Amino acid sequence: QAFLCVTSTLNMAVFRDHLALEDLVGEMKQQIPSLRFGPLQRDGRIAVQGSFPALQLLRDFLLLKAKSLSEEDRRERKSHQRPRRKLQEHRGAAEMRNSTRDARREKRVLVLDTDIYHYLKWFYLKDLQGNDVVISGVTDGDITTVCIESAGSKAGAAQGLKAKKMIEDYSVELQKILRKERICFKERSRAGKQRHRQLCERLKAHYPRVLLIPYDTHLDVVGTAADVLGFTEEVNR
């Protein structure tokens, strides 16, 4: 299995109060013509298929769209509010201090294939983590949203941008060379599955750049084509 494209399901219902969803989907198709869109469902969900860079462009487009709608809402609410005096200034000052502390942390977000994220996390991300950068991921099926959080200082912001750029570069290169093979457990008993996993772990010593992702019914092997082929052949033997 090669990492060439991915299918993601978007929930467009959040835009329903502001936009006609059919028009928004048309705008998305116009903005990123390389993506393939499924039919828009009644609940606002739509399936989108394409490359990871194209999906990242779509995500950035939707975030900008959501931000602009949020700013329009705020301006509209302000126009209907009457001026009023400031109350509970001590509480407001405390809230400002808290928000300032939150603002000192900068967040950058990437969308990656889940298997590529696991490979990055195991072999690369440890070198990018530090006092100024914290990298975490939230997985939803084949897609993982990666959050790169850095200190709001000049040095922290630079480290965060550097980490984001390195992850983007790594993911593009890994997408070209990584392959995945699935080894299904032939034995259904817990003991049989455990023996199978232990065998794979022993063989992994000969393939240090292979990543094993265990599941209840199978084991995913992620690595270069040569490593994955050699590993699976040894397991089968």
Nearest to 63 by CA among 110, 7, 113: 110
Q: Is residue 94 part of a domain?
A: no
d(CA 102, CA 123): 30
- Domain holding 159: CATH number? 3.30.70
Query: Which helix (H) or strand (E) element contains residue 206?
Result: none
Q: Any alpha helices (H) in 39-153, and if so which ranges?
A: 52-80, 89-103, 114-123, 125-128
Domain contains 31: yes
In a domain, 84, yes or no: no
Q: Do 118 and 169 lie in a common domain?
A: yes
| Residue 49 pLDDT greater than 70, yes or no | yes
CB 186 within 8 A of CB 218: no
Residue 109 in this model has a pLDDT that exceeds 60? yes
Are 231 and 196 members of one domain?
yes
Q: Residue 79 falls within a domain, yes or no?
A: no
Looking at residue 41, the DSSP 8-state letter turns out to be P
Model confidence at 229, in pLDDT bands (50, 70, 90)?
Answer: very high
- Give the ranges where the chain is alpha helix by DSSP (H): 21-31, 52-80, 89-103, 114-123, 125-128, 154-177, 190-204, 225-236
Is residue 143 located within the same domain as residue 189? Answer: no
Q: Which domain holds residue 218?
A: 179-236
Q: Confirm whether pTM is higher than 0.75.
A: no
Residues 157 and 189 in one domain: no
At which of 141, 162, 177 does a domain end?
A: 177
Domain count of the chain?
3
Q: Is residue 89 over pLDDT 60? A: no
What is the rounded CA–CA span in Å between residue 4 and residue 167?
A: 17
Lowest average pLDDT, out of 50-54, 70-74, 121-125, 140-144, goes to 70-74
Based on the domain organization, do 114 and 167 belong to the same domain?
A: yes
Is the domain of 208 the same as that of 171? Answer: no
Q: Are residues 192 and 151 in the same domain?
A: no
pLDDT score of 209: 94
Examine residue 208 and state whether it is found in any structural domain, yes or no: yes
Residue 95 lies in a domain: no
Evaluate whether residue 96 is within a structural domain.
no
